[in-house]
Amino acid sequence: MFWKKRGLIFAPTPKADWMVTHAALPVVWQRADQSVRVFFCSRDAQGRAQIGSFDYDLGTKTVCAISRTPVIGLGALGAFDDNGVTSSCIVEHAGALYQYFTGWTLGVTVPFYFYIGLAVSYDGGASFTKISPAPVLGRNPIDPFLTASPFVLIENGIWRMWYISAARWVLERGAPKHYYHIRYAESRDGIQWQPTGRVCIDFASESEYAIARPCVIRDGDTYKMWYSSRGTSYRIGYAESRDGLTWERHDERAGIDVSAEGWDSEMQAYPYILRDADKLWMFYNGNGYGRTGIGLADLALSVADSNTFREVENK
């Protein structure tokens, strides 16, 4: 794989009180008319993230219809998402859009906690309603610290989730430091989740401590996952699996790396993959965890690759 970078497509210039800095964690939904809506999170003056959207034309490479208010906002005081909500993935089901997100709250002994929430749209993504003031996957015996950033596929009536779970917190130089990797859970309805304890992507070295937001696609008999991993700073990683459970990391095949200069010269993170015609599109963040905005890259598919994807889509 070799991704061709198309540059920065959306910069987080202040446009509203909820959109002061950052355009992070892009989530892409291709609508029935083939237009693309990108959900993302931006921060207010207090650093609290909320989720908005913009429409993007892949043909003309133009942005339009930026949401004036958040489509998913902060939770009530004391709730799991009262200090931020960050975008994670979109699932279409029974005429509705299920948007899984991460809710943030501040900690005392550790700086933050976050857990997985769900909001549903019945009006084509114009608005979302949280299904509960509580997370759909919070603390449990398997995930006692943190859960976050799920990616969900529905296969044969089973909802499959790959998500972030903290393995531990440790004190380093007197400050708490998180270690989290990617685990797996299942559901029958997308709401009640059963974590399995299976670790799909684990740390590759002692210096690696954060493996963030997976994005999974099915390519014939192979599952392909893109994610970001961090030692010094985030880079985009890649893994493959035959069953979605046992994965092999091939980070050297991710096909994209930081630029020599500019908006993604220090960091690349949070890739989200969309298939359109005979290409794969990657929406991703650069420096500062989305402070510089959202960029775009594409990967041309061979004829064989295109036919394989069509077979999967028709199943």
The CATH number that applies at residue 209 is: 2.115.10.20
The residue segments making up the domain with residue 219 are 4-313
Pairwise CA distance, residues 148 & 150, whole Å: 6
Q: What six digits make up the tokens of 303?
A: 């004829």
Q: Are 268 and 256 in contact (CB under 8 A)?
A: yes
Please report, in tens digits, the pLDDT of each residue of the chain (315 residues total).
799 999 999 998 877 999 999 999 999 999 877 789 999 999 999 999 999 999 999 988 999 889 999 999 999 999 999 999 999 999 999 999 999 999 999 999 999 999 999 999 999 999 999 999 999 999 999 999 999 999 999 999 999 999 999 999 999 999 999 999 999 999 999 999 999 999 999 999 999 999 999 999 999 999 999 999 998 899 999 999 999 999 999 999 999 999 999 999 999 999 999 998 789 999 999 999 999 999 999 999 864 455 454 444 444
Q: Which amino acid is at 287?
A: N
DSSP letters, 175-217, are EEEEEEEEEEEEESSSSSEEEEEEEEE--SSTT--EEEEEEEE
Q: What is the DSSP letter of 142?
A: S
Q: How many CB atoms lie within 10 A of CB 305?
A: 16
Please report the pLDDT score of residue 271 as a whole number.
98
Q: Is the dihedral of CA 304, 38, 82, 46 positive or negative?
A: positive
**The whole model's pTM is what?**
0.94
134-143 contact pairs (CB < 8 A, 24+): 134/79, 134/80, 135/80, 135/103, 136/100, 136/191, 136/192, 136/193, 137/161, 137/163, 137/185, 137/193, 137/195, 138/80, 139/115, 140/195, 142/183, 142/195, 142/196, 142/197, 143/183, 143/195
Strand order across the 279-285 sheet: 4-10, 294-300, 279-285, 269-276
Listed in order, strand segments (DSSP E) in 46-174 are 49-57, 62-64, 84-93, 96-106, 112-121, 129-130, 147-155, 158-172
Interacting residues of 105 by C-beta distance below 8 A, sequence separation 6+: 79, 80, 81, 82, 83, 112, 113, 114
Q: What are phi and psi of 70, to 5 degrees?
A: -65, 145
Listed in order, strand segments (DSSP E) in 220-293 are 222-230, 234-241, 247-249, 269-276, 279-285
Pairwise CA distance, residues 215 & 208, whole Å: 19
Q: Which amino acid is at 299?
A: L
- 169 three-class SS: strand
How many structural domains is the chain composed of?
1
